[in-house]
């Protein structure tokens, strides 16, 4: 048998590392997902301070060392849990922004109220966790501030296509984004839904009404 024939029937050894790498990546992602699921159970039940890495690891069925290898810290796992809740079915800010393509200014604000309500339903617990943990942990406070600024950036993108001529007289595009950011906020959700008992649809309606009234010319 010639050298070329032997090469044709022998398995390509170079493919083994590639397969092993894929399997390793799948296992690592599975571990991260299990820890995210554990975070979704343990953080709401015990709060950030009361949820230890030992508790999280046990709930995920992994060792504490594995938790650190997968996420690096309890704070990073909280951030992952929050980002997972924020993303939901939209996947990324770019995906979320696509929902607004071709909409009129009024339709755009109505859709923004709907999107924020959907996010609030998923992320309300995470918002409270971050708010409470930020009061005692400067690094989490910095994370929370970054997440709030990212929310501002998304709203700015959503409103960027609204012509200034349709905005309330004297309102700039930047001030419009600032106003929408304040109305469609975790704080508004907490005050109306958590404290006053608004149903989600009532919250969505309140937000839509106030966004339109504050931003668009009559």
Distance in angstroms (rounded) separating the CA atoms of residues 93 and 190: 23
Distance in angstroms (rounded) separating the CA atoms of residues 209 and 218: 13
Boundaries of every domain in the chain? 1-72, 74-218
Residue 35 pLDDT more than 60? yes
Domain spanning 74-218: CATH 3.40.30.10: no
- pLDDT mean across residues, the chain: 88
Tokens of residue 18, six digits: 């590639």
Instruction: Spell out the long-range contacts of 81-85 with Cβ–Cβ below 8 A and sequence spacing 24 or more.
Output: 81/36, 81/39, 81/40, 81/43, 81/126, 82/123, 82/126, 82/129, 82/130, 82/147, 84/36, 85/40, 85/122, 85/123, 85/125, 85/126
Q: Is the pTM of this model over 0.85?
A: no
User: What does the buried/exposed string (b/e) look like for 96-117 if buried means 16 or more CB atoms within 10 Å of the residue's CB?
Assistant: beeebeebebeebbbebbebbb
**pLDDT tens digits along 88-126:** 655 555 666 778 988 999 999 999 999 999 999 888 888
**pLDDT tens digits along 55-70:** 999 999 999 999 999 9
Fold (CATH) for 1-72: Arc Repressor Mutant, subunit A (1.10.10)
Please name the residues in contact with 74: beta carbons below 8 A apart, sequence gap of 6 or more.
48, 51, 52, 53, 56
CB 149 within 8 A of CB 99: no
């Amino acid at each position: 048998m010639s050298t070329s024939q032997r090469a044709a029937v022998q398995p390509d050894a170079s493919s083994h590392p590639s397969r092993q790498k894929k399997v390793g990546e799948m296992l690592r992602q599975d571990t991260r997902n299990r820890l995210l699921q554990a975070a979704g159970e343990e953080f709401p039940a015990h709060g950030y301070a009361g949820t230890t890495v030992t508790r999280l690891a046990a709930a995920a069925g992994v060792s504490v060392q594995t938790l650190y290898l997968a996420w690096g810290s309890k704070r990073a796992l909280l951030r992952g849990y929050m980002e997972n809740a924020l993303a939901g079915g939209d996947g990324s800010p770019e995906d979320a922004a696509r929902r607004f393509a071709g909409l009129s200014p009024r339709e755009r604000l109505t859709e923004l109220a709907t999107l924020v309500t959907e996010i609030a339903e998923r992320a309300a617990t995470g918002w409270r966790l971050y708010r409470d943990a930020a009061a005692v942990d400067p690094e989490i406070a910095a994370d929370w501030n970054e997440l709030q600024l990212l929310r501002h950036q998304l709203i700015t993108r959503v409103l960027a296509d609204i012509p200034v001529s349709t905005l309330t007289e004297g309102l700039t595009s930047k001030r419009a984004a600032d106003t929408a950011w304040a109305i469609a906020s975790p704080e508004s959700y907490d005050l109306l839904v958590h404290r006053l008992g608004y149903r989600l649809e009532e919250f969505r309606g309140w937000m839509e009404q106030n966004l339109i009234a504050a931003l668009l010319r009559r």
